[in-house]
Chain A
C-alpha cells in the first residue's frame, strides 16, 4: 500500500506531523504500537519557544483548548514548573504564593493524588492549606479491587456525577480563596472543567495525578480523531518490524499485522519515542535504535551513561538518534534522505533548536513537516 508519508509512532510528535501533512493534502498513515507518553502528560507543553501560536492553533482545530500564559504550573508533588503553554486543565500562576488559603479535596481511597505533599509545599510559600476527602456512593464499587481506584475510572464517573462532588465541596468550603482538585475531570469532554469552575465559590486549580493522565488521554483521542477526520489512516496496536533501507533511502516498511503487505511511501518519519516507547533500546554494552540501526552518540564506557545520584540530570537522557541539520538521521555517518527523526527518539541532541519533552515533539514535527511541504529534501 502506497502513502505520501508513513509515520512510525502515534504519540504527540507522530500525531502532530500526521495532522499537518493531512492538512496539506498528503495521504498519511501512522503506525502506533499501543499507547504512548501522552498517558503521562502533565498538560504543560514545555519549551514551546517561538512555536506557541502555531501549536495553539493546531490544537484548537482539533478541539483541544490551550492556555497561553507565562508563569508556573503546580505539579503533583507540590513543586512548580515554568509554563508558557498548557492544556486548559492547568492553571498557571505568576508566583509560588498562589493563594492565601487553599482547600485541597481528594476522593477517599484515591492513592494517586498526594494532597499532603502539595500542602507542605504550598505552606512554605505562605498558603494555608486544609485537606478534605469526599466519597460518592457511585464510586463504591471501585473499592472491590483497590487497584481500580485510578484516575480514569474516577473520571468516567465524574463526567456524569460531577455535580454531586461540587455539592459536597460547597459544604466543605469555608473561606478559602482556592480549591485544589485532582485532574480526574473531563475524560471525553473538557467542558465539565468550566462548569466546575463556575459552580464553586472560589478559584479552582486542577492538579495532576499519577498516570494515566486524564487530560493526556482526552488530548490523544481528540488528536487522533482530527487526524482520521482529515482522512489519515491510524494503525492502532501495530508494530513496525523492519524497514527497507538501501543507499540512503527508505523504500518501504513491514508491520507485524500487515506482514507481507508492505507500506510504501515517499517520506518516512521516525517518531518512535525514547527508551520507554522502545524507540531507543539498550543492552549492557550498547545504546541503539532498533528499527534501522541509526547512529547514536554515546560514551563507550557504561559508567559514563549515568550518574549515581538518581536525582541528578542523567547523561543517558541526552543520547538520541544523530541527524543532519534537516532532521535526516545518520546511518554509518550518511544521512537517510527521505527519513526524518522527530520527538523523543532524538533524546536531548537537539535541545537548543527544538527544546525538550512536548516542545521537542511538536517543534521537531513542525520542522520535518515544513521540509516535506517545501519539497526541498
Chain B
C-alpha cells in the first residue's frame, strides 16, 4: 500500500525537510527584507494557515511566482504553488486600480490600439511617466511597452485563406503581447512555420492566459479566461491541431497553473499546448521538414532562460534550435531571474528590488558583449533592453531573419 497516496497534500508541503535550498535560490529574499522567504511563506506557513487562516501574511504578495524555488527543491515541493494558492484562498482584499490596469493586458491593449501613436507618444513622455508614478505608483523609470496600431489577430485573419492552403496546420495562441505590442513576432512565427510547410490558424477566440490576473489578485477573472481558453483549445485539438505559443509564460500558465492554481481541468488538451521552439526543433530533428538558412548569416548570441521556461524545463529546445543556425556563436547566460516578473517590476514599490535581482544578469550580458540577447519571454525582453541597452530577440524572430525569404 502506498500510504502517501492518501496523505499527500495538493502541493505536497509535507515533503519539505527544511533544507532551505529554496531560500538560497529565491531572488526576492536578498533584496526585500519584508518578504518572509519561500520556505516560511510556503510549506512552513501552510501548516499554520491550515490550523487558522489568521496566520495568512500579506507579505506573500512579494513572491514573484518565478518558480525558482520549485526548480531547485530536492523534494519536489511545489513551493510557489503553495504560496500562490494561499493568496487565492485567503487574500480577499480588492486589488488596487493600478493593479487592475496592469493585470488587464488584453483590455488595455484593446483600449490603446486605436490610439497607438498617441498612447505611445504619451507614455514615452517624461511628464506622463512622472504622472503615472505619482497617481498610479507605476515606476517612472519604466518604459511602457509600445502598442501597435494594428492587431496581429486582424493581420492573420486577413491571411486565413492563404494559410489554409498548407497541407499541415497548427493553431497559434499569440497572447496579448503579440497581439497588441509586438505583432512582428507573430509574423515571424508565421514566416517560419510557412517555411516548414505548415499553415497557421488562430484559435476560435483566445483570451489573455491570465498570468497577470493571478499575480494581481484577480483569480476569479483568471479562472473565467482559463475555462474559455481550454474550451477554445479543445476545439483545435479535436480538429487534430497542436496549439503553439511563442510566450514561455503563457505556455507554463496554460499547462501548469490552470490545474494547479485555478483548478481548471486541462488534461484533455495539455499535451497539445507546446512552445513553438520545442515543436520546431522536434520537427527538424525528425527529418520531416527542413529550413534553408541564408548564407553568410553571422551572430554572436547570448541566451537568457526565462524563469518560467526553466520551470517548464524546455530551454534546451530554444538553445539547440539557435545552435542549428550556421554562423551562430552561442553563449548560455547563467541562470538568474531578470527581476521584472511580468507586472511586478512595473510597480513603484518593487522597482529597486526588481533592478537588484537582475543585476548579476545585466553585468554578465555586458561582459559577454554579444551582438544581441535571445530570450523567449516578452517581459524579460523589456527588462533586459531597459537595463542593459542590448537588443533582445525572440528565438523565432532570429530564425525568421536567418532563413531565406
Contact = CB atoms under 8 A, between A and B. Distances in A.
Interface stretch (B71-79, B109-117, B124-132, B392-400): B71-79
Chain A interface bracket (under 10, 10 to 19, 20 to 34, 35 or more): 35 or more
B20 A152 contact: yes
B118 interface: no
A238 B76 CA distance: 10
B335 interface: yes
B123 interface: no
14 contacts: A1-B316, A34-B71, A39-B24, A152-B24, A153-B29, A156-B30, A188-B360, A225-B334, A228-B332, A236-B72, A236-B313, A237-B70, A255-B313, A258-B313
B44 interface: yes
Contact of A261 (B33, B44, B278, B335): B278
A336 interface: no
Given A34-B72, A34-B76, A144-B36, A233 B278 contact: no
Interface of A: 1-2, 29, 33-36, 39, 141, 144-145, 147-148, 150, 152-153, 156, 188, 211-212, 217, 225, 228-229, 231, 233, 235-239, 255-261, 277
Contacts of A256: 313
Interface string B299-328: 000000000001111101101100000000
Contacts of A39: 19, 21, 24
Interface string B5-35: 0000000000000111101100001100110
A34 B316 contact: no
B223 interface: no
Nearest to B364: A225
Question: What 10 pairs across the A-B complex have the smallest Cβ distances?
Answer: A257-B313, A237-B71, A141-B33, A34-B74, A152-B24, A35-B21, A156-B30, A238-B313, A228-B332, A145-B40
Contacts of B319: 233
Contact of B74 (A2, A36, A231, A258): A36
Contact of A1 (B21, B24, B320): B320
Contacts of B160: none
A1 B285 contact: yes
A148 B24 CA distance: 10
Nearest to A238: B313
Interface string B62-91: 000000001111111000000000000000
Interface string B130-162: 000000000000000000000000000000000
B282 A261 contact: yes
Contacts of A238: 313
Given A212-B24, A217-B24, A237-B71, A258 B314 contact: yes
Contacts of B24: 39, 152, 212, 217
B33 to A, nearest CB: 4
B72 A237 contact: yes
B233 to A, nearest CB: 18
Contact of A150 (B23, B70, B75, B311): B23
Contacts, number: 96
A147 B40 contact: yes
B37 interface: yes
Nearest to A35: B21
Contacts of A259: 271
Contacts of A228: 332, 334
B39 interface: yes
Contacts of B36: 144-145, 148
B320 to A, nearest CB: 7
A235 B312 CA distance: 10
Contacts of A212: 19-21, 24
Given A29-B316, A152-B20, A257-B314, A147 B44 contact: yes
A235 B72 CA distance: 11
A148 B42 CA distance: 13
Most buried by A among B21, B39, B311: B21
A144 B59 CA distance: 12
B316 A237 contact: no
A228 B39 CA distance: 28
Contacts of A34: 21, 71-76
Most buried by A among B44, B282, B330, B332: B332
B279 to A, nearest CB: 10
B74 A35 contact: yes
B342 to A, nearest CB: 20
B360 to A, nearest CB: 8
Nearest to A260: B271
Contacts of B332: 228-229, 231
A277 B74 contact: yes
B37 A145 contact: yes
Nearest to A258: B313
A50 to B, nearest CB: 32
A126 to B, nearest CB: 36
A236 B19 contact: no
A305 B9 CA distance: 32
Contacts of A145: 36-37, 40
A33 B278 contact: no
A233 B21 contact: no
A231 B319 CA distance: 10
B335 A236 contact: yes
Nearest to B333: A228
Nearest to B41: A145
B75 to A, nearest CB: 7
Contacts of B278: 261
A239 B34 CA distance: 33
